[in-house]
């Protein structure tokens, strides 16, 4: 693709490095921005600079937050006896949008995937184990995708926690195998959470 300007080429290359955006789509976006007011584009760019420079990760659940403790962990009305374990912020948002879960979260920051070189030490496993030592915690809910990586992570976490007095649950299997939770509709996901089952049940099938 030949560009009339190195500045345009650089902008296209930056945008096309994002997931799901090809060179043609990136060029369309760049040309669209050139037709906008300069102050609007400055505000657009500054929002990402502000994001990178000022974003925090919650000291309790490890979700993305504007402060050192996220709004959910800061909310005294949340049920701290129940922890929902999720892969990342996208799944956490999906669960929150169901309005079915009133507990708190633990964001692993990924899934165990030997093929990709991701082991238990690369995600927030030890932090979860330490968190469960709090006598206030009564139940752990595994809300991980029904993929090979999700199932592997579920099983590893279960082995680490099975000797505790905690109730260990997994969301109901109303979600197809291989599905990513972030793309599951709110009704299906909400039902899967409310109808959660003891994780041991899934091991016998």
Domain at 27, CATH number: 1.10.8.420
Listed in sequence order, the DSSP H helices in the chain are 6-16, 23-34, 38-54, 71-74, 89-97, 125-131, 148-161, 186-194, 199-203
Q: Are residues 38 and 109 in the same domain?
A: no
Q: Is the pTM of this model over 0.95?
A: no
Calculate what percentage of the chain has a pLDDT beyond 90.
Answer: 68
What range defines the domain where residue 21 resides?
A: 6-54
Q: Are residues 141 and 44 in the same domain?
A: no
Mean pLDDT of the region 142-171? 90
Please determine, for residue 181, whether its predicted confidence score (pLDDT) is greater than 60: no
pLDDT band at 203 (very low <50, low <70, confident <90, very high): low
Q: What is the pLDDT of residue 204?
A: 56
Q: Which helix (H) or strand (E) holds 139?
A: strand 139-142
Q: What is the pLDDT of residue 179?
A: 47
Q: Are residues 48 and 78 in the same domain?
A: no
CATH of residue 116: 3.40.1360.10
Measured distance CA(186)–CA(93) in Å, rounded: 10
Mean pLDDT of the region 76-90? 94
User: Has residue 62 been placed in a domain?
Assistant: no
User: Has residue 1 been placed in a domain?
Assistant: no
User: Has residue 60 been placed in a domain?
Assistant: no
- Residues 91-104, buried b or exposed e (16+ Cβ, 10 A)? bbebbeebebbebb
Q: Are residues 118 and 181 in the same domain?
A: yes
User: Has residue 127 been placed in a domain?
Assistant: yes
pLDDT band at 176 (very low <50, low <70, confident <90, very high): very low
Please determine, for residue 57, whether its predicted confidence score (pLDDT) is greater than 90: yes
Q: Are residues 85 and 159 in the same domain?
A: yes
Measured distance CA(180)–CA(24) in Å, rounded: 28
Q: What is the pLDDT of residue 104?
A: 96
User: Has residue 151 been placed in a domain?
Assistant: yes
Q: Greatest CA span in the chain, whole angstroms?
A: 66
Q: Report the range of poorest mean pLDDT among 10-14, 80-84, 120-124, 135-139.
A: 135-139
Q: What is the domain count for the chain?
A: 2
Q: What is the pLDDT of residue 191?
A: 67
Mean pLDDT of the region 193-199? 73
């Amino acid at each position: 693709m030949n560009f009339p300007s190195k500045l345009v080429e650089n902008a296209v290359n930056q945008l096309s490095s994002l997931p799901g955006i090809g060179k043609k789509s990136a060029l369309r976006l760049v040309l669209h921005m050139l037709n906008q007011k300069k102050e609007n584009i400055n505000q657009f760019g500054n929002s990402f600079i502000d994001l990178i420079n000022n974003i925090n990760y919650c000291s309790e659940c490890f979700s993305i937050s504007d402060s050192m403790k996220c709004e959910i962990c800061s909310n005294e009305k949340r049920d701290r006896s129940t922890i929902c374990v999720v892969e990342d912020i996208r799944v956490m948002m999906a669960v929150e949008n169901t309005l079915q879960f009133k507990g708190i979260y633990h964001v692993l920051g990924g899934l165990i995937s030997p093929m990709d070189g991701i082991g238990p030490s690369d995600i927030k496993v030890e932090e979860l184990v330490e968190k469960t030592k709090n006598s206030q915690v009564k139940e752990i809910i595994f809300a991980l995708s029904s993929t090979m990586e999700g199932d592997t992570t579920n099983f590893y976490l279960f082995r680490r926690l099975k000797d505790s007095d905690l109730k260990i649950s997994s969301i109901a299997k109303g979600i197809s195998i291989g599905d990513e939770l972030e793309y599951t509709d709110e009704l299906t996901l909400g039902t899967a959470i409310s109808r959660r089952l003891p994780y041991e049940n899934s091991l016998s099938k």
